[in-house]
Amino acid sequence: MVIGGGLVGASFACMVAQAKMQAPLRILVTEAVASLQASTSFDARSTALSYGSQQIYHGLGLWNALSAYATPISRIHVSDRGHFGAVRMSAAELGVEALGQVVENQHLGVVLTQALEQSATIDYLCPARVNSLMPLPEGAELEVSLPQGGTGWVRAGLVVLADGGKSPLTTDLGIGTQVKPYEQRAIIANVAFSEPHGGVAFERFTDSGPMAILPLSPLQGENRGALVWTQPAEQADTVLALEDAAFLAALQQRFGYRLGHFVRVGARNAYPLSLSMAREQVRPGLVLLGNVAHTLHPVAGQGLNLALRDAEALTHILAEAVAAGKALGAMPVLQAYEQRQRQDQSVTIQFSHYMTRLFSSPHPALVWARKFGLFSIDLIPPLKREFARQAMGRADREVRRA
C-alpha cells in the first residue's frame, strides 16, 4: 500500500506495477487531495528532471506523454552575483541530448494520475486520507477515509509512506526527524522576459540566497522561465507582497540582463526551506519514500531526482524478494534497500546542502572559496564532469551499472 499519490508515491506505484514480478502484487494508492492544484506535489512549481529521471519515466512508458510538456536544458550556467567566476556546462560538451528536462508539476500530475487510474494492477483511491496506521508483525493495518464518505480498514503486507514533508503519521509512529533549518524561504513564480532562454538553466548565488531560472516552453509568444528565488525568511513576505513592477525590478537587479528585461510575473508562492531527514527510513512492514524520508533545498534540483532513484532501487529489491519467496515487509528485505541507497542519499544530500551553505554565506573566506571553486570547476575538465554527473543524476546510475 502506498500512502500519498504525489510525485513520489505515484511514480513508485507505477514502477512496481511495471516491474517483472514472479508473482503479481496488488497495489493500493491512497491520495488525500482530489484537486491537482491543491496537492503539495502538483502545484504551480516546475521540476528539473535529471537525465536519470527522464530515463526512469521513459522506462515506465510515460516519457512520450511528458515530453509534450518538457523543455530540454541544453546548458547550465552557474554564477555568483558580484564575483568573478562562472561554470558553464553544455549537453553537447558532455555528449548527451539534454542535461535535463523541465516539466511543470501540473503536467506531471496529469500524466502520473492518469497512469494510476488506467493501470490494471493499481487500485487508486482518491480522495482518501489515511488517518492511522497500526503496525502488525507482518505489515500494518490502516484506517482510511473513503471517497464515498465514512472510513474503512486496510491490511497491507508492506506500507510505503510517501505522504510528504509534513507527516503526522510518522509523528504518531514515533519516527523522529533531524532538521537543519536554512532560515530561508523559496519564492516561486513563472516569469516572462524579452530574450529567448536558448535552453539555458541559470543558477545564481546572491548575498541574500541562491536563485534559479529554469527554461520553459514559450506561451502565447512570450519567453518564459520558472523562477525559484530563495530569500532570508524575514524578507520573504515583503518580496512576496511587492507590486508586480517592483518585484520585477528587484529580480532584474539581482539576476542581471542575461535574459533581457523581465516583463511579467505569474502567481507567486513561498515555501519554507530546511534540510530534514527521517531518523529511520525502514521498519518491519514500512518504508519511507520521498520528502518524508529526506527534504532537500530546492535550488540544486535534487529532491525528486533522488527520490526516484530510491523508488527504483526499492522496486528492484522487492522484485528480488518476490522471486526468493520472501515477505515484502521483512526487515532484511527493507534493510537491503536502505543499504543500497545509503551512499547515493548521503552524497546527494551533502552536495545539495553544502552547495547551498557555501553559496549563501557572505563570510569573506567562503566568498573566496566559491570564487575559486567556480573558477576551478570551469577550468578543470574532470571536476566539471563530476559536477555535471551529480547534477544530472548520472553518477549513481553508472556506479550501479558497473
For binding to ligand FAD (CB under 6 A), which residues are involved? Answer: 3-9, 30-33, 39-41, 45, 47-48, 129-130, 162-165, 169, 186, 188, 228, 271, 290-291, 298, 301-305, 307
Least distance (Å) between residue 321 CB and ligand FAD: 23
- Closest distance of CB 111 from ligand FAD, Å: 15
Minimum distance from CB of 105 to ligand FAD (Å)? 7
Q: Smallest distance from the beta carbon of 367 to ligand FAD, in angstroms?
A: 26
Whichever of 286 and 322 has its CB closer to ligand FAD, that residue is 286
Calpha distance 78→307 (Å, rounded)? 24
Closer CB to ligand FAD, 215 or 290, in the complex:
290
Least Å distance, CB 313 to ligand FAD, is 15
Our CB check for ligand FAD shows the closer of 226 and 318 to be: 226
- CB-wise, 125 or 318, nearer to ligand FAD? 125
Choice between 309 and 367, CB closer to ligand FAD: 309
7 or 17, CB closer to ligand FAD?
A: 7
Instruction: State which residue, 165 or 373, has the beta carbon closest to ligand FAD.
Output: 165
Residue 126 C-beta: closest distance to ligand FAD, Å: 9
Residue 186 CB coordination number (10 Å):
24
The distance of closest approach from Cβ of residue 210 to ligand FAD in the complex, given in angstroms and rounded to an integer, is 12
